[in-house]
Structure 1
């Protein structure tokens, strides 16, 4: 539970709950991935069907490691936080549109940051300016550009 203050100075309590995703979450997570790819990726220069097959396989293979997020009794998003190559990766972080701008994404990221001393990285579409701004506010820096359409962003260790 975290106490927050909104732009008008009203204090409110942000209490998120986290539950393991289930097989029934595979299709919603896949649809969220596909929507982001459709919105931000240049689909003329990628093998679109191959990318979608890869995404579906990743989700199906790791669904037991995905987390769904609950706020006020409702499912509000998903994420997948996992160890890879001596670092932690935040993958498939989604907050449903009707729950954005409420601090939920920030709280999920702070939770992930507080859980490890390892460097944390993530991939973000270069044209997703809102997501990039959020990650930068929490100490992530762009460390690599991939094919002109995505960035790798990384931060070191615990939240300060």
Structure 2
């Protein structure tokens, strides 16, 4: 598994990965109608304002990505066909090495797999909040803010 910086040639795979994983995430949250594709939301959510890393398998296929600032991991998606293979953990570890001393992430309340992953790495829940779903503000959601301190 290779973690590297995003390149323009990765755009199609990012769309495929996001869309497949996001549908599952929103179904688990009970709001499947909130789905918007990456193509529909990347500008509004500022995807390219973040540092963007991709995970590439041994044959060069992009299988996951993360986008982050020094203080926040904003995006983390892995192709559902590659779940439970350590890809999200590898992406997180590299992002956390490059991020600042305190890093936060927001997770939907029912995204138990993601919450467990972040806790396993050392994130702690610091807040439970409700508000508009980022990117599709007509939906109200409840989620957690988790924080990691180096």
TM-score under structure 1 length normalisation: 0.67
Distance 1:62 1:131 in 2: 23
Aligned to 2:97: 114
In structure 2, how many angstroms separate the alpha carbons of the residues matched to 1:143 and 1:105? 21
* Structure with greater contact order relative to length (CA < 8 Å, sep ≥ 6): 2
Change (3 A) 1:89 1:58: farther
**8 Å CA contact retained: 2:17, 2:63:** no
* Number of the residue aligned with 1:12: none
Work out which of the residue numbers 76, 89, 104 in structure 2 matches 1:93. Answer: 76
Deviation at 1:116, TM superposition (A): 3.5
Aligned length: 136
Distance 1:62 1:156 in 2: 25
The within-5 A match list for 1:65-144 is: 65-72=51-58, 73-83=60-70, 88-144=71-127
Q: Which runs of 5+ in 1 are unaligned?
A: 1-14
CA deviation after TM superposition for structure 1 residue 63, in Å: 6.6
| From 12, 15, 22, the counterpart of 2:8 | 22
Partners of 1:70 and 1:95 in 2: CA distance: 11
Cα distance change of structure 1 residues 146 and 69 upon mapping to structure 2, 3 Å threshold: same
Between 1:24-33 and 1:146-155, the stretch displaced more is 24-33
Q: Choose 1 or 2 for highest CA Rg.
A: 1
For residues 75 and 20 of structure 2, the distance between their equivalents in structure 1, rounded to whole angstroms, comes to 8
**What is residue 153 of structure 1 aligned with on the other side?**
146
| Structure 2, gaps ≥5 residues long | 131-140
